[in-house]
Amino acid sequence: MSAELLRITHLSAVSRASRLPVLRDVSLEVGRAEVHGLVGESGAGKSTIAKAVLGILPQGISLTKGSIALGGRDLLALGSHERRRLLGAEVALIPQDPLTALNPGRRIEAQLTDGLVLWRGLSRRDAKRRALALLNEVQMREPERVLRAFPHELSGGMRQRVLIAAAFALEPTLIIADEPTTALDVTVQKQILRLIRAMQARHGTGVVFVTHDLGVVAQICDRATLLYMGKVMEEGSVEELLSSPHHPYTKALMAACPRYDRPGRGLEPIPEAVLAACRNEVAAFDGSLAND
């Protein structure tokens, strides 16, 4: 029980404009030092879950039910000030696009030390020393120079390393990684995944890893939750999920992955019958709610 870090229970959300459900009764648990994949296609609700945890849901989406507990404390029950304190110190974000996630007008040093000064009360000098250590830890070349640089002077991979360093700066217990490798090319992607995995293991940090790529899940995650239309389709350890998937959607998704060892076979779309079955499952769930 003490191994549990994040517990989301029966989380439901709707879009305010259309009143359509965005999340349907999502429950999942993330243990301490566990990398948990949130997998699904566009619009499956994986980013919505991540944003709900961080308390940065867009104005058009509201939570209707459920709870999000971090280390046993219900985030949704906290006042906004307390919640900010808890989240600021305990939860960090590795954003999707390293090109826009750094403020173009501020030096890397300022951006890396922000949180340290705000939450740890470090002096600017101590914060700088810590930032330098962090850059060394993410294997950045010439960290001294990087600290003085502006974001546009760094490559995409370097920026993503800076963002990873920033995420680990406050020694958070949970890191939300929102498709952190999508904007990078494949070779850099692999290095970044290894880096996140290594940092996470060293610091004992729990990670919620949002992705649409099963290959990435196989590389980095311990457990994963598969979503379709805001509903959990299948949940389990990655070995289990990838070697013996139960749900037809998982099977179809695996079959749809491009395989470079089988040239000549084109991409296989997910069969319409499987999608129809998933939609029926979702519709049946919505129907059961309506009957309540």
Partner 1 sequence: MAEQASALGSAATPSRRRVDTLAALLHEPKVIGGGGFILFLVLAALLAPLISPHDPLEQDLMSGALPPVGFAGAQAGFPIGTDDLGRDVLSRLIYGTRVALTVAFVAATLAAVLGTALGLLAGYFGKLTDGVISRLIEIWMAFPPVLLSILIVAIMGAGVASVITAIAIIDWTRFARVVRAETMAQAKADYVTAARVIGFSRFTILLREILPNIAPLLVALLTLEMGIAVIVEAILSFVGLSVSSDTPTWGGMIAQGRQTIYQAWWVFAAPLAALFATVLAFNQLGDGLRRALDPAMRR
Binding site for partner 1 (CB under 8 A): 54, 56, 59, 84-85, 87-89, 91-93, 95-97, 100-106, 111, 114-115, 118-119, 141-142, 145-146, 148-150, 152-155, 158, 163, 166
162 or 195: CB nearest partner 1: 162
156 or 215: CB nearest partner 1: 156
163 or 199: CB nearest partner 1: 163
* Sequence-distant (≥ 6) Cβ neighbours of residue 102 within 8 angstroms: 108, 111, 151, 159, 162, 163
Beta bridge partners of 9: 67
Kindly state the smallest distance separating residue 36's Cβ from partner 1, in Å: 18
The answer to whether 86 and 73 are in contact (CB under 8 A) is: yes
Single-letter amino acid, residue 23: L
106 or 246: CB nearest partner 1: 106
DSSP 176-234: EEESTTTTS-HHHHHHHHHHHHHHHHHHT-EEEEEES-HHHHHHH-SEEEEEETTEEEE
Kindly state the smallest distance separating residue 158's Cβ from partner 1, in Å: 7
- Which secondary-structure segment (H or E) carries 147? helix 143-148
Strand 91-94 to 223-228 pairing:
unpaired
Kindly state the smallest distance separating residue 59's Cβ from partner 1, in Å: 8
Kindly state the smallest distance separating residue 166's Cβ from partner 1, in Å: 8
26 or 146: CB nearest partner 1: 146
Kindly state the smallest distance separating residue 276's Cβ from partner 1, in Å: 36
Kindly state the smallest distance separating residue 125's Cβ from partner 1, in Å: 16
Kindly state the smallest distance separating residue 255's Cβ from partner 1, in Å: 34
Backbone angles phi, psi at 275, to 5 degrees: -60, -40
The answer to whether 199 and 184 are in contact (CB under 8 A) is: no
Strand 61-70 to 4-15 pairing:
antiparallel
The answer to whether 162 and 112 are in contact (CB under 8 A) is: yes
Burial bucket for residue 33 (CB in 10 Å: 0-12, 13-18, 19+)? middle
97 or 126: CB nearest partner 1: 97
66 or 88: CB nearest partner 1: 88
